[in-house]
């Protein structure tokens, strides 16, 4: 009896040990599954982070690409009294219309002279100031040549958005500078896009271009007070349309 009982106990102990071993293996398997899940979640997080970084990189304008594409539609404007920048806002088989600041052509316009010269590289083209909006400091110039128009983005940008400016500072046509939008603000009741990209005399009328290569504003002025730095102002491009000059 004791022998039989002893054998029974041994059998029970053996069965219990097997169950314990199986439970241990199940626990290890569950642990491995948890670790695999955690690693998968971590990899997903890295993937999302990389996608976010890629999106930011793609949203950053490439000044070289923009200069090559947009630059062919940007010209130096030469009057008898002044010099500035103009860019193509619309184009048709009969010619092109360009936008610049009114103050670039103001002296000639007020004297009754409507003719200007557009220059790009070694080429020059005769142009005519066909319409002005003195209140918004804008002017439209017509030429008989057909040049590619630059797309417009009439939505106001957000602070921090990158921008590129192409123009003719001090008459140096095709000059490229870049920066960011600092703010969209009202000054003396007039709405402006404030930006950090460097501009100089001759940049008046330059297109302010976003990461997609669309014009969002027209460079008009900059702060020149002592100690000021990187404070440029642009007219929102939607004003061109609302003024009736183009679009």
C-beta separation of 194 from 245 below 8 A: no
> Exposed, middle or buried by CB within 10 Å (0-12, 13-18, 19+), for 17?
exposed
C-beta separation of 208 from 216 below 8 A: yes
The residue from 91, 96, 137, 243 that is catalytic is 137
Q: Is 137 a catalytic residue?
A: yes
The residue from 168, 177, 204, 206 that is catalytic is 204
The residue from 82, 91, 103, 161 that is catalytic is 103
Closest CA to 101 of 181, 154, 163, 168: 168
| Chain center to CA of 54 | 15
C-beta separation of 210 from 216 below 8 A: yes
Residues belonging to the active site: 103, 137, 204
């Amino acid at each position: 009896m004791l022998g039989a009982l002893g054998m029974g106990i041994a059998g029970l102990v053996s069965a219990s040990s097997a169950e314990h071993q199986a439970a241990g293996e199940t626990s290890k398997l569950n642990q491995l599954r948890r670790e695999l899940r955690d690693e998968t979640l971590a990899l997903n997080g890295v993937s999302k982070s990389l996608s976010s970084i890629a999106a930011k990189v793609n949203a950053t304008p490439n000044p070289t690409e923009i200069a090559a594409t947009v630059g062919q539609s940007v010209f130096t404007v030469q009057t008898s009294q002044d010099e500035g920048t103009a860019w193509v806002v619309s184009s048709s088989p009969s010619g092109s219309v360009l936008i610049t600041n009114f103050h670039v052509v103001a002296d000639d316009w007020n004297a009754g002279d409507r003719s200007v010269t557009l220059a790009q590289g070694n080429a020059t083209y005769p142009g005519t100031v066909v319409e002005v909006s003195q209140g918004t400091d804008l002017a439209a110039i017509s030429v008989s040549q057909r040049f590619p128009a630059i797309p417009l983005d009439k939505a106001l940008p957000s602070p921090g958005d990158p921008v590129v400016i192409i123009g003719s500072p001090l008459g140096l046509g095709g000059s490229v500078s870049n920066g960011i939008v600092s703010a969209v603000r009202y000054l003396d009741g007039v709405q402006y896009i404030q930006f950090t990209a460097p501009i100089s005399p001759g940049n008046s009328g330059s297109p302010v271009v976003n990461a997609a290569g669309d014009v969002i504003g027209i460079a008009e002025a900059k702060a020149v007070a002592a100690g000021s730095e990187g404070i440029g102002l642009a007219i929102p491009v939607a004003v061109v349309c609302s003024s009736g000059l183009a679009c």
